[in-house]
């Protein structure tokens, strides 16, 4: 009986693996050699182009979930701008993932706050993959696009901001050793 149960479990596991493997479609648009993590996304940018995480392979990325209707996102926008201005020249890519489904609100947000980093639209499904709740949320992805650090919300005070900038300093210093 024990042997039968072991064989039954093994058969069920094999069948489920076969089903999963067969139901997944190959993404032929992914850069060869790019290891798609659970953090992977490919969305339409606010400019109507494809914005895919794979385009930043080998680089750390700060992903910011936000939307134009979010007061806390507007409050955090000066910090977003400062991060982009300081760390983009050091090799960090900043990407805004907007829950907005059309380009107009994302453009409004970027123009109002003079933000120059790219925005992708309709990011709610990606936010669920990241387990992001509320906005703004900041996800630092290392150069392999694993989540290295998460900051939740607009601003947790001085310690929050100091931690964010210290972590971003460390992440970018690895790219540009002194």
Given a cut of 80, is residue 117 above it in pLDDT? yes
Q: Which of 9-23, 24-38, 90-104 has the highest mean pLDDT?
A: 90-104
Task: Please tell me whether residue 148 adopts helix, strand or coil conformation.
Answer: strand
CATH, domain range 34-173? 3.40.30.10
Given a cut of 80, is residue 137 above it in pLDDT? yes
- Reported pTM: 0.77
Any idea which of 12-16, 51-55, 128-132 has the lowest mean pLDDT? 12-16
Average pLDDT over residues 144-154: 89
Given a cut of 50, is residue 90 above it in pLDDT? yes
What are the structural domain ranges in the chain? Answer: 34-173
Measured over the CA atoms of residue 152, residue 120, residue 85 and residue 167, the dihedral's sign is positive
Given a cut of 90, is residue 105 above it in pLDDT? yes
Which CA distances in Å does 21 have to 14, 15, 17?
Answer: 11, 10, 6
- Residue 106 pLDDT grade (very low, low, confident, very high; cuts 50, 70, 90): very high
Q: What is the pLDDT of residue 63?
A: 95
Average pLDDT, the chain: 80
- 110-141 burial string, b = 16+ CB within 10 Å, else e? beeeebebbbbbebeebbeebebeebbbbbbb
């Amino acid at each position: 009986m024990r042997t039968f149960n072991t064989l039954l479990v093994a058969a069920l596991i094999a069948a489920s693996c076969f089903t999963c493997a067969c139901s997944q479609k190959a993404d032929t648009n992914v850069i060869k050699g790019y290891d798609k993590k659970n953090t992977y996304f490919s969305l339409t940018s606010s400019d109507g182009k494809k914005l895919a995480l794979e385009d930043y392979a080998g680089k750390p990325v700060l992903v910011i979930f936000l939307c134009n209707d979010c007061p806390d996102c507007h409050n955090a926008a000066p910090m977003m701008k400062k991060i982009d201005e300081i760390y983009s020249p050091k090799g960090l890519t900043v990407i805004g993932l907007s829950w907005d489904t059309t380009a107009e609100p994302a453009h409004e947000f970027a123009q109002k706050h003079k933000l120059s980093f790219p925005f992708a639209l309709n990011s709610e499904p990606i936010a669920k993959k990241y387990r992001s709740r509320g906005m703004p949320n900041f996800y630092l992805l290392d150069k392999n696009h694993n989540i290295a650090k998460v900051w939740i919300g607009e601003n947790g005070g001085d310690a929050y901001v100091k931690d964010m900038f210290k972590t971003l300093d460390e992440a970018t210093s690895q790219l540009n050793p002194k």
